[in-house]
Amino acid sequence: MKSWFNKNQSITAEMNGLMAGVYAKMPLQLARISLIIHCLNYPDDPSSQQISAETMALAIELTEYFRG
């Protein structure tokens, strides 16, 4: 996950204008998507579990889909 953040930082730095703003907000979108996936996996008590690496991997995959 750390590598995704570093890569996103690099991509954001290369962009300008509107796309730089969109890419700068990607980490927030990733956080929202990961929380949604987590709550879908633990609908009765989402706070009983930490967000897993698998959930983060799925969230990164979805975030990258939206980047495209």
Q: Where are the domains of the chain?
A: 25-68
Q: Please report which residue ranges of 1-68 form alpha helices under DSSP H.
A: 2-14, 18-24, 26-41, 53-67
CA 1 from centroid of its chain's CA atoms: 9
- What pLDDT, in 10s, does the model give residues 16-57? 999 999 999 999 999 999 999 999 999 999 999 999 999 999
Structure-model confidence comparison of residues 27 and 68, the more confident one: 27
- Please, are residues 9 and 28 in contact by the beta-carbon 8 Å criterion? no
Query: What pLDDT, on the 0 to 100 scale, is given for residue 1?
Result: 81
Q: pTM here?
A: 0.87
